[in-house]
């Protein structure tokens, strides 16, 4: 790797540090995941997306056994109310934990294809990322299907996620910013 590519990679990483609420006092990752209130089929769909997330990241991001002191994520299915009927997901977090609510609508015919972008978006909030003003980014405030994202949106998201959680991102994601 040339010197200029190293400088570029470091610049990208430093830019990503400012992509959200970079909480230095955050509990360490990988995060412990607890999944509540889902049918077996729905739970399988959520687990499939979590596995896909880790595979894309190229690193262990989540685990399901007890490891005291680690960041905790609880994913719960919620029924929409009149006030939340247009909300697909919600993440509330602090430096030790994150609660993710997924709407039951995501598990109905015609809407299940939104599970991946909504879950990944909410996990982005768990890491400390805020919303992005660009419609082509995964952290845009409204859910979009994968095809609506810019060509490098997933890589940018994963690099920001890795930076904020101090996880190691797979080489191909980092390389896309260097090449």
More confident residue, 146 or 123: 123
Domain locations in the chain? 3-178
**Given pLDDT bands bounded at 50, 70 and 90, which one contains residue 145?**
low
Pick the CATH number of 3-178 from 3.90.1280.10, 3.40.390.10, 3.10.180.10, 3.40.50.1000: 3.40.390.10
Q: How far apart are CA 139 and CA 120, in angstroms?
A: 9
pLDDT in tens, 59-110: 889 988 777 778 999 999 999 888 888 889 999 999 899 999 999 999 999 8
Q: Mean pLDDT, to the nearest integer, of 35-60? A: 92
């Amino acid at each position: 790797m040339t010197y200029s590519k190293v400088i570029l990679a470091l610049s990208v990483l430093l830019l990503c540090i400012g992509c959200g609420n970079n909480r230095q006092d955050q509990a360490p990752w990988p995060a412990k995941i607890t999944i509540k209130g889902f049918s077996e089929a729905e739970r399988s769909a959520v687990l499939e997306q979590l596995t896909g997330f880790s595979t894309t990241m190229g690193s262990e991001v989540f685990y399901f056994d007890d490891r005291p002191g680690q960041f905790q994520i609880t994913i719960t299915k919620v029924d929409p109310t009149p006030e939340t009927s247009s909300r697909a997901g919600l993440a509330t977090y602090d430096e030790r934990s994150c609660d993710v609510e997924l709407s039951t609508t995501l598990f109905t015919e015609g809407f299940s294809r939104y599970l991946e972008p909504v879950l990944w978006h909410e996990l982005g909030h768990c890491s400390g990322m805020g919303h992005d003003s660009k419609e082509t980014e995964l952290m845009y405030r409204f859910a979009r299907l994968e095809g609506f994202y810019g060509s490098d949106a997933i890589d940018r998201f994963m690099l920001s996620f890795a930076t904020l959680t101090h996880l190691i991102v797979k080489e191909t994601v980092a390389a896309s910013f260097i090449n």
